[in-house]
Amino acid sequence: MPVASAATAALAARLAGRPGLVLERAAPLARLTTLRVGGPAELLVEARTEADLVFLLRTTHELAAPWFLLGWGSNVLIPDEGIPGVVVRLGEGFRRAAIRGTRVAAGAALALPKLALRTAAADLMGLEALAGIPSSVGGAVAMNAGCYGTEMKDSLVSVRLVEHDGTRRRLPYAALAPGYRRTNLRERRAIVTRAHFELTPAPPGAARARIEELRQRRRGALPTGHPNAGSVFKNPPGDYAGRLIEAAGLKGKRVGAAEISARHANVIVNLGGATATDVFALMLAAHHAVRDRFGISLDPEWVLAGALAARWREAAAAAGTPRMTDGEART
């Protein structure tokens, strides 16, 4: 990582005296991702409370310092050279949840599986299918995460967020225009801090039984034993990315220590020592093979962080495929 930019150095000086902000310079990011690849953050900042996050974003806005939000660390690819500017993480104050009747409020840094298990224990239904998604609540909100026919938008009523200039808002989830694995949070440059759900009462034990049923189903379909970041590509209309990649003959293909899983072709695994460059090369290989054989351009579900977003656009344009995921700066 190069010497900190003037904007980042000035930002660090402004933030250093605030107790609710934890700063780390040249912070390794691979350890914070489920794929275990990627370089360092120029400056990693953890905000412990919403007030601390407001202060952080106001300051980055004033100093025109770039920032990138890193949540659970799944569904993201960090480049080997790392991320310039500030990488933001949400701390302990964002990991709480409250249940009142059928209404549930959850902090953005709370693990989505933990929230699903907690609501199931309260005999509330609505989040069972999401219990196997390795995401924070905030990351799931940002991409309208879904599985087994259930999406966040099905039970999510409203969100509390902080805009890029530090302004706090509470909005109905519909205002974020949730679609298939996307919302407009990218365009808003906003960070979700809390999510409000309306769930359905369930017979005793029914929600927990459904979670276990889906857990067994998921365990039989997805690779285990090696780090991965979940589904690489969105499913195209009427088909499945994994089926297309497998049909293109790429199941088990390796570049360096990265492999298109022999168990599920829409998952790339780190066999040990893989680099982001290895993983990115496999993404391009899968994309081009499916395009050449089926005429379908697969759209990344992963967030391509830092310079990887531009690299993907360039590669896709060179291949005659202009589409790319809207997620360039969040997970």
Q: Which of 42, 128, 301, 328 is catalytic?
A: 301
Of the candidates 33, 27, 39, the one whose C-alpha atom is nearest the C-alpha of residue 227 is 33
Residue 181 designated active-site: yes
| 218 dihedral zone (left: phi>0; alpha: psi -120 to 50; beta) | alpha
Q: Which of 135, 231, 261, 297 is catalytic?
A: 231
Q: Which of 181, 182, 194, 208 is catalytic?
A: 181
Residue 301 designated active-site: yes
Active site residues: 181, 231, 301
